[in-house]
Structure 1
Amino acid sequence: MSRAAQSVLDLVCLGIGMMLGAGVFVTTGFVAATMAGPAVVLSYAVAGMSALLSSLCYSEFAVRMPLVGGAYTYVNAVFGEYLAWVTVANLILEYILANAAAIRGFAPYFSMLLNQPSGTFITPWMGYSLDWWAFGLCLAITCLLTLGTKESARFNVILTLLHVLLVVFIIIAGFTKSKPANAQPFFPFEVRGVFNGAALVFFSYIGFDSVACSAEEVRNPSRDLPLGILGALGVVTACYMLMAAALVMMVPLAGLDKGAAFAAAFASVGMDWARYIVALGAVMGIITTTLVGMYATSRLLAAVGRQHILPPLLARVHPRLATPYIATILQGVAAALIALFTDFADLAEMVSISTLFAFWMVALALIWHRYCQPRGATPLLQHQAVVGAHMGVIVAASLAFTIVYQLHPNHWIGMVVCAAVGVAATASLQLCCKQHNAPTLYGVPLFPYVPALSVGVNAFLLGQLQKPAYERFGIWTAVITLFYIMYRCAWSYRCYR
C-alpha cells in the first residue's frame, strides 16, 4: 500500500468523516427528550472525554506500531493471536453492520431532500423492505476505494469539508432562533440523566480508531497519527456540543421531536426551508461515514489475512492501484447485501458492544505493554505477576462500580469505594512497578492513570448495554472461536506438510 498517501488533513478528515455522520441528527433529539433534557450538551462532553481517553491509547500504539490493522495489531503484539482474533472479528462484524446501517439511512434523508415521503425509495418484497439505493451506493463506494487511497482520500476530504460547512450553517442558523429560556430546567432528569445520555451518544464517536488503521499510509506516523486522531476528535466534539446547544435552545423540552429533531425544530421556528439543509447534511454524513468505515474494514481484513488467520488472499495488494482490492470488494459486497435486505433499526441494535470491547482491550494492552514487554530481556515472572494483579484489581473495581451503579444507583458510598480502590491500584502500579518499555517518540500523558481510567469508563459504558447485545456477543464469539480453531489447525497442518 502507498506509504505516503495520507497527510494530517487527510487523517483529520478521515476521522471526522467516520464520526460526524447522520447519527447526531437522530440521537440528539432522542437523548434530550428522554434522558438528559438540555443537559444533552454535557452528555456529549462526557462521551467526548471518554473517547479522548481511548484515542490517547490508540495514538501511542499507532506510533509504536505504524502498521495496518489498528486494534488487532496492538492486541496481537501484547496478548497473543487468539484474543487479537476475538477483538478484530468483532470489530469486522461491527464495521460491516455499521456501514450497512449508515448507508441504509440514505434513502429516507434523500426522500426528505426531494420533498417526498420517507418510504419512496423502499421496495417491499416477500416481507423485506429492499433498499436498492443503499445497495448501489455501497457498490459505488467499494469501487472508489478499490481505485486507490489517494482518489478516495481526495473525495473524502472534499465531502467532509462540505459536510462540516453544512453543520456550521445548521449551528449558526439554530443559534439565531435560540432562546436561553427554552433550556430551563437544565437538568430535568437529574445528573444521572447526563451519564445515561452519554452512554448512548458515545456511539456517535465510534470511528476515530479508523485513523489508526491507516498507519502504513501516513508520511510521518509519530507526528501525524496523534494529530489526526486528536484533531478529528476535537472538531467532532465541538460540532456535537454546539449542535445540541442550538437544538435545546430553539425548542422547549416538551416540543422536541425524538426522531427528526433538527428538521422539526427549524420548522417550529418558521424556518421550514432549513430542513432541506439538515437532510443534505445527513446525506453527506452518511456517505462519508460509509466511505471511511469501508476503508477501515478492508485494512483490518488485510491485516488479519497477512497473519494467515483468514485466507492470505485478503492481504493481496493490487500491483497498480496499491490497495487491498480483494478485502475491499468482499466487505463492500457483504455490506451492500446486508443493507439491501435489513432494516436500519435492526442493524442499529447490533452495533455497539464489539467496539467498546476493542477499546477496553487496547487500554489493557497498553498497560501490559509498557510494564511487561521490554525491548530487551523479559521481566521476571514475579514482576509480571505483580503487574497482572494490579490490572486485575483495576478491572474488578471498574466492573464493581458499574454493577453498583446499575443495581443501586443511589448508593454513592459503594461507588466511591469502588472508584477509590481503582485509583489506589493505579497509584500502586505506578509506584511499585517499573516500566520496561517507556515510549521514545509519543506516549500517553499521565500514564498509567489515563489507560486505567479508559478501562473504567469503557466498562461503565458496556454496563449500559441491554441483554440482547451480550447474547449476540456471546454467540458470535463462540462462532469465531470455532472458526479460529478449525482454520488455524488446518493452516498449521498444511505448513507442517
Structure 2
Amino acid sequence: MTKDLERDLGLGAVIAISMGAMIGSGIFILPGVAMAEAGPAVILAFVIAAILVVPAALSIAELGTAMPEAGGDYVFIERGLGPSFGTIAGLGTWLMLMLKGSLALYGGMFYINFIYQLPTWELAIPLLEATLPIPGVRALGITFALIFIGINLIGVKQTGGIQSIMVVIMLVILGVFVAATIVQVDGANYDGFFDEGIDGILGATALVLVSYAGVTKVAAVAEEIENPGRNLPLGLSISLGVTAFLYALIVFVLVGVMEADDLEGHNEPMAEATRLLFGETVIGGVPIGGLAVGGIIIAAVLALVSTANAGILTASRYPLALSRDKLFLERFEYIHPRFNTPTVAILTTGAVIIFIVATQNVDEIAKMAGAFQILVYILVCGALIAFRERDLEWYDPDFHTPGYPWVQLFGILSGIFIITQMEAREILGSIGIVILGFLWFKLYAADKVDREGVAKGLARREAGRQFVQDTEEQLERADEFEILIPIRQDVTREQEDALIHMAAPIVRQRGGHIRVVRFDEVPDQVPLDTAAAELSEADVEFEQRTDELVCDLEVPVEVGEIVSHDTRHAVVNFAERSSADLILARQEATSRLGTLFGRDTDWIMEHAPCDVVFVQHEQRTDINEIAVVTDRSPFNDPLKVELANAMADVLGARIRFLFAVDESAPEELLETIEDYHDELDDLCTVPVDSAIVRTDDVVSSLSSELESSDLVMLSTVTHRRLPDLVVEQRSDRLAAAIEQPVLLVHSKQTRRGSFLRPILDRLLFN
C-alpha cells in the first residue's frame, strides 16, 4: 500500500504564497539602501530585476505542471541536469532562503527601533525617546529568530487563510499609502536621474533581486496545488506582475516625496516617508500622523517577521530534501517522533540565520541572497532546456513556456551578466557555491546515488502513476454505491472497525464497495512527499488490521493512505475525485466553545460533494432496533430512512420512527405526522413502528424513548458559530444525552439555513 498526496492549494493560495513571500523587504527595507547605489534611477533597478525573474518563473510554471512534485526548483534541476547540479541548486537555494529570512528579520527590527526615535506626541502613547544601538537591533532580531525556531520545531500550523489575509492587509495599507502620498510627488527629486550611471543601476538591481525570490517559492509545494496546469502559471504571473507594479509605484512615490539625504541608506524608508509627510498632522486633536506612522510600522513588522518565520520553514526543507536524495548528511532526515518536524534541518537553518543577523549588514545580506537566487534561476532555465530537448513521452506539461528556447537562453545569459556586475564578494560567493557543490557531490554523494539527469526511474515512476490513475478511472462505475470511511490519526482500532461494520450492511444491500482511507496530517514544516515516503509502525498496523477485517466481510473494501497538510480538505477532495456517494466518519462530541472556533465536521458538511454521516458513541454488537428521529426534513429524512432500511434489511432489525411535538400541538398536526410516518412505512422493506412524543422537554423525553433502541439516526446541519454558541442545536443536545451509537445524517442537498436557523429550531422543537 502506498500513500497519496493531497492537492488542496487553489489559485488564491498560489498567489498568496508568492506575494506573501515577496511583499516584505523589497518595499519596507531596500528602496533606501538601493537608492544609495542608483540614485533616483532606483525604480529601473526594481523593473529590471522583475524582468530577470520572468524566464525562471515561466520555466518553473512549465516544470511544475509537468512534474507537480514537492521540492520545486531543486527537484526540477536535480531531475533535469543531474544530482551534481541538484546539489548546487539545493545548497544555493538553502543559503538564499536563509539570507532572505535574515534580511526580513533584521530589517523588521529597524522598524521596531524606529518607534523609539519618535517623540511621544507623535504616537500619542507613552514611549521614551531613545534609540536602540545596532547591537541592540541585532539582539532583538536574534530573540525573534529563537522564537521562530521554537515555533517551527513544535510544528505550529500555518494556514493559507492567514497568509491570504496578510496579503490583503498589506495591499490595502500600501494602497492607502500610495493614494495619500502620490499627490505630493515633487518632480525636482528626479533631477540627475542617471547620475550614478549604468553601473549604479546594475548594482542596485543585484541588491533588490531578493525582493522577487518569493515568486517561485510556491514551486516547493507544487505537488499540493489543485489543477496545477492552470493555477501554477496563472498564479505566478499574477503575483509577479502585481508585485512588480506595486514595487515600481511605491519606489516612484518614495523618491518623489523625500529628499535624497532622507531616503538614501535608510533601513525603514516607509516609516521615514510617512513621518516626514504626516508626522505633525493633527485633525480634531487626534495625531493622524502618529497613527499613520504606527500603522506603517505595524504593517512592516507583521510582513517582515512573517516572512522570516516562513523563511525558516521553507529553507529547512532543502537540507531535508538533499538528505532524502542521499546528497547530504543523513542526520538531516531526522524527524522528531513527537512533533513530526525535521529537527536537525530546522535547528541548523535557524543557527545560520542567527549568525547572519549577528554579523552582516542589510546591503551585504541582500546582495549575497540575490547572487544565489540568480544562480538557481540560471540552473532552472537550463533544466527546462534539458527536459525539452530529451524526447520523453511522459513529459507533457499542461503549460508550455512561450518563446522557448529564447526566453530560457535570455534567462541564462542575463543571469550570468548580472552576476559579473556584482561586487567581488558576491561573485566569489557564487563561484564558491558552485565549486563547493561539485566537490561535495564528488567526495560525499557520488557513490551513494545511481541516477542521472532526466532519469529513467523518474520516467517509469511518472508513467506508472499515470497508468494507475487511468486504470482507476476506467474501473469506476457510476451505478455502484461507494462509501468513503476517512480514518484520522486519532481514531482507535475499535472505532475504525465499528465504522467498517456499520458501512458493510449498507453496501451489501445497495451494492458497491467501501473505501477505507487513512488521512495522515503532517505539519507544514514537513514536505508531503517526505512524509509519504516514510512507512511508520502505525501505517503498517493500519494496513494489517484492515486486511484482517476485510477478510471477514462480504463486501469489497479498498484501503489507502493520503498525506496532507489539511485533513478536511483532503477528505473532501478525495470524495470528489473518487465519486463517493457517502462519507461515513467518526465525530467526537464537540463543546459549544469548540463550535465557536469552527469544526472540521462543519466544513466537510458544507463542502462535501456527497452525503455525510458522522458517528458518535461506541457501536453495539447486536442491532435489533434502529430509531429514526424524523423532523419532516425534505432532504435528511429520506436519507435517514434509506440508510436505516438498508442496514435493517441486512441485519434483520426493525425501524422505529419518532417525532416530538409540543404538549399543546393541535390534533391536525398529529394527524399530519401520522400520515407522514405511514408513507415512510410503505417505503420500507422491514418492520416499522412509529410514535409521536408529546412533550415540553424534547431532549429529555426523546432520550427516554430511545433507551430501547440500539442505533439512533438524527439530522444535522452545519453550525453557525455565534448563534450555536447561544442556542445549541437540538441534535447535539440529544446526541449528548443518550448512550446509544448515533448517526448524524447530513444530505448534500440540505440547504444551509441563515443565522436564525438554530434559534427557530429551538423555538419550534424544544
| TM-score normalised by length of structure 1 | 0.75
What pairs with 1:2-41 in structure 2 (closer than 5 Å)?
A: 3-37=6-40, 39-41=41-43
Deviations 1:412-438 (A, max 9, x none): xxxxxxxxxxxxxxxxxxxxxxxxx6x
* Counterpart Cα distance in 1 of 2:435 and 2:18: 31
Task: Return the match for 1:470 from 427, 433, 445.
Answer: 427
Contact 1:70 1:300 in 2 (8 A): no
* Counterpart Cα distance in 1 of 2:189 and 2:388: 49
Q: CA deviation at 1:42?
A: 3.0
* Residues 189 and 340 of structure 1, relative CA distance in 2, 3 Å threshold: closer
- Which position in structure 1 is the counterpart of 2:255? 248
| Partner secondary structure for residue 355 of structure 1 | helix
Which residue identity lines up with residue 220 of structure 1 in the other structure? N
* Residues 144 and 64 of structure 1, relative CA distance in 2, 3 Å threshold: farther
Q: CA deviation at 1:55?
A: 0.6
Contact 1:142 1:328 in 2 (8 A): no
Which residue identity lines up with residue 269 of structure 2 in the other structure? A
* Residues 488 and 70 of structure 1, relative CA distance in 2, 3 Å threshold: same
Q: CA deviation at 1:186?
A: 4.4
Deviations 1:322-358 (A, max 9, x none): x653365334532454256334445445323221111
- Which position in structure 2 is the counterpart of 1:119? 132
Contact 2:46 2:244 in 1 (8 A): yes
Q: CA deviation at 1:475?
A: 4.0
* Counterpart Cα distance in 1 of 2:86 and 2:329: 16
- Flag the structure with higher strand content: 2
- Which position in structure 1 is the counterpart of 2:409? 452
* Counterpart Cα distance in 1 of 2:37 and 2:440: 41
Q: CA deviation at 1:135?
A: 3.1
Contact 1:145 1:328 in 2 (8 A): no
Q: Note if 1:265 corresponds to 2:273.
A: yes
Q: CA deviation at 1:48?
A: 1.4
* Residues 88 and 32 of structure 1, relative CA distance in 2, 3 Å threshold: same
* Counterpart Cα distance in 2 of 1:351 and 1:330: 20
Contact 1:160 1:288 in 2 (8 A): no
Q: CA deviation at 1:445?
A: 0.7
* Counterpart Cα distance in 1 of 2:402 and 2:184: 41
* Unpaired runs of at least 5, structure 2: 119-128, 281-288, 451-766
| TM-score normalised by length of structure 2 | 0.50
* Counterpart Cα distance in 1 of 2:109 and 2:262: 26
What pairs with 1:98-177 in structure 2 (closer than 5 Å)?
A: 98-114=100-116, 115=118, 117-119=130-132, 122-123=135-136, 131=139, 133-145=140-152, 151-177=158-184
Deviations 1:186-215 (A, max 9, x none): 444456654554333223212222110111
What pairs with 1:370-385 in structure 2 (closer than 5 Å)?
A: 370-375=388-393
- Which position in structure 2 is the counterpart of 1:357? 375
* Residues 156 and 134 of structure 1, relative CA distance in 2, 3 Å threshold: farther
* Residues 298 and 254 of structure 1, relative CA distance in 2, 3 Å threshold: closer
- Which position in structure 2 is the counterpart of 1:413? none
Q: CA deviation at 1:20?
A: 1.5
- Which position in structure 1 is the counterpart of 2:564? none
Task: Return the match for 1:299 from 314, 317, 322.
Answer: 317
Contact 2:25 2:304 in 1 (8 A): yes
* Residues 335 and 218 of structure 1, relative CA distance in 2, 3 Å threshold: farther
Deviations 1:379-409 (A, max 9, x none): xxxxxxxxxxxxxxxxxxxxxxxxxxxxxxx
Q: Note if 1:74 corresponds to 2:76.
A: yes
Which residue identity lines up with residue 359 of structure 2 in the other structure? T
| Partner secondary structure for residue 151 of structure 1 | coil
* Counterpart Cα distance in 2 of 1:238 and 1:16: 12
* Residues 318 and 221 of structure 1, relative CA distance in 2, 3 Å threshold: farther
Contact 2:49 2:209 in 1 (8 A): yes
Q: CA deviation at 1:65?
A: 1.3
Q: CA deviation at 1:243?
A: 0.4
- Which position in structure 1 is the counterpart of 2:304? 286
Q: CA deviation at 1:467?
A: 1.2
Contact 2:315 2:349 in 1 (8 A): no
Q: Which stretch shifts more, 312-321 or 19-28?
A: 312-321
* Counterpart Cα distance in 2 of 1:255 and 1:489: 54
| Partner secondary structure for residue 264 of structure 2 | coil
* Residues 196 and 135 of structure 1, relative CA distance in 2, 3 Å threshold: closer
Which residue identity lines up with residue 8 of structure 1 in the other structure? L
Q: CA deviation at 1:67?
A: 1.1
| Partner secondary structure for residue 374 of structure 1 | coil
- Which position in structure 2 is the counterpart of 1:334? 351
Which residue identity lines up with residue 359 of structure 1 in the other structure? Y
Contact 2:153 2:342 in 1 (8 A): yes
- Flag the structure with higher helix content: 1
Which residue identity lines up with residue 328 of structure 2 in the other structure? L
Which residue identity lines up with residue 428 of structure 2 in the other structure? E
Contact 2:39 2:194 in 1 (8 A): yes
* Residues 78 and 188 of structure 1, relative CA distance in 2, 3 Å threshold: same
* Residues 154 and 100 of structure 1, relative CA distance in 2, 3 Å threshold: same
| Partner secondary structure for residue 207 of structure 1 | helix
* Unpaired runs of at least 5, structure 1: 124-128, 377-436
What pairs with 1:431-442 in structure 2 (closer than 5 Å)?
A: 439-442=396-399
Q: CA deviation at 1:293?
A: 2.1
Q: Note if 1:183 corresponds to 2:196.
A: no
* Residues 140 and 192 of structure 1, relative CA distance in 2, 3 Å threshold: closer
Higher RCO (C-alpha under 8 Å, 6+ residues apart): 1
Contact 2:97 2:315 in 1 (8 A): yes
Contact 1:144 1:151 in 2 (8 A): no
* Residues 34 and 138 of structure 1, relative CA distance in 2, 3 Å threshold: closer
Q: CA deviation at 1:441?
A: 0.9
* Residues 307 and 363 of structure 1, relative CA distance in 2, 3 Å threshold: same
Q: CA deviation at 1:284?
A: 2.0
Aligned length: 424
Q: CA deviation at 1:183?
A: 3.2
| Partner secondary structure for residue 29 of structure 2 | helix
* Residues 350 and 446 of structure 1, relative CA distance in 2, 3 Å threshold: closer
| Partner secondary structure for residue 71 of structure 2 | coil
Q: CA deviation at 1:178?
A: 2.2
* Residues 164 and 63 of structure 1, relative CA distance in 2, 3 Å threshold: same
* Counterpart Cα distance in 1 of 2:177 and 2:78: 43
Deviations 1:84-127 (A, max 9, x none): 1012112212222332232122322112235464426945xxxx
* Counterpart Cα distance in 2 of 1:97 and 1:443: 32
Which residue identity lines up with residue 225 of structure 2 in the other structure? V
- Which position in structure 1 is the counterpart of 2:630? none
Q: Which stretch shifts more, 226-235 or 355-364?
A: 226-235
Q: CA deviation at 1:447?
A: 1.2
* Counterpart Cα distance in 2 of 1:327 and 1:57: 32
Which residue identity lines up with residue 102 of structure 1 in the other structure? A
Which residue identity lines up with residue 376 of structure 2 in the other structure? A
| Partner secondary structure for residue 208 of structure 1 | helix
- Which position in structure 2 is the counterpart of 1:404? none
Task: Return the match for 1:488 from 436, 445, 454.
Answer: 445
* Counterpart Cα distance in 2 of 1:331 and 1:50: 31
Structure exhibiting the larger radius of gyration computed from Cα positions: 2
* Counterpart Cα distance in 2 of 1:195 and 1:257: 17
- Which position in structure 1 is the counterpart of 2:525? none
* Counterpart Cα distance in 2 of 1:311 and 1:262: 43
Q: CA deviation at 1:367?
A: 1.5
Contact 2:154 2:341 in 1 (8 A): no
Q: CA deviation at 1:182?
A: 3.5
